[in-house]
Amino acid sequence: MFDHAALRAQFPILKLTENGHPLTYLDNASTSQKPLSVIQAVEDYYSTQNANVHRGVYGLSERGTDAFETVRKKVQAFVNAKSYKEIIFVRGATEGVNLVAQSWGRHFLKAGDQVIVSEMEHHSNLVPWQMLREQIGIEVIKWPINERGELSLEDLAGLLNERTKLVAVTQMSNALGTINPIKQIVEMAHQAGAKVLVDGAQSTSHIKVDVQALDVDFLVFSGHKLYAPTGIGCLYAKQALLEAMPPYMGGGDMIYKVSFEQTEYNELPYKFEAGTPNIAGVIGLGAALDFINQLGFERIAQIEEELLHYATERLSQIEGLRIIGTAATKGAVVSFVIEGAHPHDLATLLDQDGVAVRASHHCAMPVMLKFNVPATVRASFGVYNNRDDIDRLVASIHEALDMLR
Ligand code: C6P
């Protein structure tokens, strides 16, 4: 028997009370809580290892550099990249997309080229392409979603053409929970001569992502959604693409040789890592990947699918509640609106019972426009959630509705 209570006990924050109630944390799509192993890894790093990386010849700095680079290899294994050179440490998914847009996009795209962006993208995988549209005149083409919040491959076939240079798509929607068929999308895009950027901000904590099996060109994700600290994330890109791309930022560590006349850039992956990195974040990310690997994606899927099923069933019984995002393939996210209750009022009342959910457009305003709602309430699950959390959510919604209606 799997001891779920022991798993939950690894997360100290879950022992908190909020407004006199046990904390019921259901905002994992926003950021996940951290296990003790991650918290301790960061503490140990500052207590026993802190020195800048790639710079010192003294032991402390060399040990720090080793620990830092070991995590890069862990990330390489985590996404099954061919080489550690394909793993660039960034602040998060947002910085990863901006790096691709401003380095690859600005260098290799020209006016009239098309970037297909799905309608369910988080703003971080739409706005950088709109910025590039302003800068160099590319076209941003919307790949629409249907009433269930799904993308159609037939629609994609109709959009792809010889001007398409990139398809920018999330593997899992933060606002709807939809999981997209990345392998087929990549095959279709590649046949049309386009590259694919996958936003793995939501998917990487729920699904095993294999960049070689999927053959994605770019993948971005944020550590803080997979039990790691904030401020650290990764860009994966195929080595040939990274070799050809110009640096995104200039500064320390991304150079070999600098003079006023000429600068020679460092090799991969350092060419894209200007300045002192978030070393503690990287160390914490390594501990988070150990945590996920120990648990295993089979177990994660088992826990989260059960929670998704139970939450969907219980929430659907609430009168006037409409789930936004009813895709056939979904991750552990339930977004909903309830007749007669504004999402923000509802979330504020839930907080009185210690229930933390997000009420917002979830940085996916086009999704809200599509469903004609200003915002949704979103309950999103992590491995430590259990049925009691969902029961508390449902009970609290009933109480709130008694007040609001
Ligand atoms: N979504 C949410 O509550 P950053 O902020 O860079 O770590 O991640 C951005 C991001 C990109 N793509 C997707 C699909 C995301 O869900 C997010 C972050 C959070 O849904 C905060 S808005």
Cα–Cα dist 269/248, whole Å: 12
* Closest residue to atom 16 of ligand 1, CA basis: 174
Query: Are the beta carbons of 381 and 330 closer than 8 angstroms?
Result: no
- Can you list the alpha helix ranges (DSSP code H) found in 192-238? 211-214
Q: Residues with Cβ within 6 A of ligand 1?
A: 29-30, 92-94, 122, 124, 170, 174, 199, 201-202, 222, 224, 358, 362-363
Residue pLDDT, tens place only, 232-247: 999 999 999 999 999 9
| Cβ within 8 Å of residue 57, ≥6 positions away | none
- Residue whose CB lies within 8 A of the most ligand 1 atoms, among 123, 129, 145, 174, for a mutation test: 174
CATH topology of domain 4-30+296-404: Aspartate Aminotransferase, domain 1 (3.90.1150)
Whether 217 and 197 have beta carbons less than 8 Å apart is answered as: yes
Q: Confirm if 138 and 107 have CB atoms less than 8 A apart.
A: no
pTM more than 0.95? yes
Amino acid at 168: A
Give pLDDT, residue 400: 98
Nearest to residue 132, comparing CAs of 159, 178, 168, 181? 168
> Domain 40-293: which topology?
Aspartate Aminotransferase; domain 2 (3.40.640)
**Residue 322's pLDDT is what?**
98
Residue intervals in the chain for CATH 3.40.640.10? 40-293
The residue contributing the CA closest to ligand 1 atom 19 is 30
CA atoms within 13 A on the CB side of 342: 5
Alpha-carbon gap, residue 142 to 299, rounded angstroms: 36
Return phi, psi of residue 160, to 5°.
Answer: -70, 135
Give the per-residue pLDDT at 9: 98
d(CA 272, CA 252): 11
User: What's the half-sphere exposure (Cβ side, CA atoms, 13 Å) at 303?
Assistant: 22
Closest CA to 212 of 88, 83, 80: 80
Distance between CA atoms of 278 and 250, rounded to whole angstroms?
17
169, amino acid identity:
V
Q: Which two tokens mark 144?
A: 């629409």
C-beta separation of 255 from 272 below 8 A: no
Every domain of the chain with CATH number 3.90.1150.10 lies at: 4-30+296-404
Question: Ligand 1 pocket check: which of 32, 202, 226, 357 to mutate, most ligand atoms within 8 Å of Cβ?
Answer: 202
For 267, the token pair is 């090799």
DSSP letter at 148 equals T
Question: Which residues, other chains included, contact 367 with Cβ-Cβ below 8 Å and sequence gap of 6+?
Answer: 119, 120, 145, 149, 173, 175, 176, 324, 361
Residue 17 CA, chain-centre distance (Å), reads 28
The list of the chain residues with pLDDT below 70 reads none
Count of beta carbons in the 10 Å neighbourhood of residue 193: 12
> What pLDDT is attached to residue 56?
85
Give CA–CA dist 196/52, Å, rounded: 35
Question: What distance in angstroms lies between residue 259's CA and the mean position of ligand 1's atoms?
Answer: 39
Q: Which atom of ligand 1 lies nearest, measured to the CA of 96? A: 6
CA of 33 from ligand 1 middle (Å) equals 15
Q: By alpha-carbon position, which residue is closest to atom 1 of ligand 1?
A: 30
CA of 1 to the centre of ligand 1 (A): 34
CB–CB of 248/121 below 8 Å? no
- Contact by Cβ (8 Å): 131, 158: no
Atom 17 (ligand 1): residue with closest C-alpha?
201
**Residues sharing a CB contact under 8 Å with residue 100, sequence separation 6 or more, in sequence order:** 128, 197, 218, 220, 235, 237
- Other CB atoms closer than 10 Å to residue 279's CB: what's the count? 23
The predicted pLDDT at position 55 comes to: 85
53 CA → ligand 1 middle, Å: 28
**Residues tagged active-site:** 363
CA of 92 to the centre of ligand 1 (A): 9
Q: What is the pLDDT of residue 405?
A: 84
Per the CB < 8 A criterion, the answer to whether 86 and 269 are in contact is yes
Q: Which of 123, 117, 164, 122 is nearest to 142 (CA)?
A: 117
Please state, in angstroms and as integers, the Cα–Cα distance from residue 290 to each residue in 28, 33, 381, following that order. 19, 15, 20
241, exposed or middle or buried, with CB in 10 Å at 0-12, 13-18, 19+? middle
